[in-house]
Amino acid sequence: MTDPLLSISDVSKNFGDLQVLDGLSLDVAPQSFVSVLGPSGAGKSTLFKILTGADRAVSGTINFGGVPLTFPNTHFAFMPQRDALMPWRRLIDNVTLGLEVQGMKRRDARKQVEPLFETFGLKGFEQHYPQALSGGMRQRAALMRTVVQQRDMLLLDEPFGALDALTRTSMQRFLEARWEKERWTALLITHDVREAVFLSDRIYVLSPRPAKVLRTFDVPLPRPRSLADMASAEARAVESEILNTLLVNENDGKEQPYETVFKRPDTGRNSDDSDDLDRRRACCG
């Protein structure tokens, strides 16, 4: 069994009387894609702040590569919820920003990133400003800026949450395809169940605040993945179990099975089913 690259053990965090993390434990294996899935406000982003040194845990241990994680460190490349592109910098200079911060001269950084613009579907937009680009193009640029830093691990904090449904699906497919080729070690924060199932090798489902791991799911889908895989019995079973785990908190601890709630009659489809399904899939948002 491969030793984890990142191992978080019994980590807790509070802000005064407000406890945010409650004995959180998870592992991320090298070259794996792991998601942390849970309700909004559960403390998922706080976990990333702890990993990057922007905040400190009050207890627990974090090891990286088998040794205690120290601060500051250069292990992580972070992609935030918003693209955070600087409007006064051309796209190529936004992408090179992380390299420049590391001390690379801008001219050298440009030479390094220029070949990637075609890979990321942005060929011809190098000299454009961010405001001239679509949401999906901006997020591809933000992802490129993250990966060119060549850190040990990607931290992705709901990077597609602000996109419309069609663009979000397109970006999920793009990220899965790039991950399949590059095999980055990645940790994704999301409250989108389907996104987690589509992208991940393993999913940690968190409770509402204070966050602790309710269940861990290994995703049995082959790679590379397609949208058709999400209609398979295996994908639907994992999605169903995740939703059951989350929804038990909405029903005073009494399980209300997803399969029963959304079972449709053979003779037709109840007009309320679609809205109800969408509501429950977004139960953590």
Residue-level pLDDT at 250: 56
State the pLDDT at residue 190: 93
> Which CATH code fits 6-75+152-228?
3.40.50.300
Q: Are 37 and 238 a contacting pair, CB within 8 Å? A: no
Q: Judge contact between 214 and 205, C-beta under 8 A.
A: yes
Contact by Cβ (8 Å): 248, 214? no
Per-residue pLDDT tens for 1-51? 678 999 999 999 998 889 999 999 999 999 999 999 988 878 888 999 999
The DSSP element (H or E) to which 182 belongs, if any, is helix 165-182
Closest CA to 212 of 3, 4, 5, 9: 9
Task: Return the closest-CA partner of residue 28 out of 55, 63, 56.
Answer: 63
- Count of Cβ atoms closer than 10 Å to residue 142 Cβ: 19
- The predicted structure's pLDDT at residue 258: 45
Please tell me the predicted confidence (pLDDT) of residue 279: 45
Question: Residue ranges of the chain with pLDDT lower than 50?
Answer: 256-277, 279-280, 282-285
pLDDT value for 264: 41
Q: Enumerate the β-bridge partners of residue 26.
A: 8
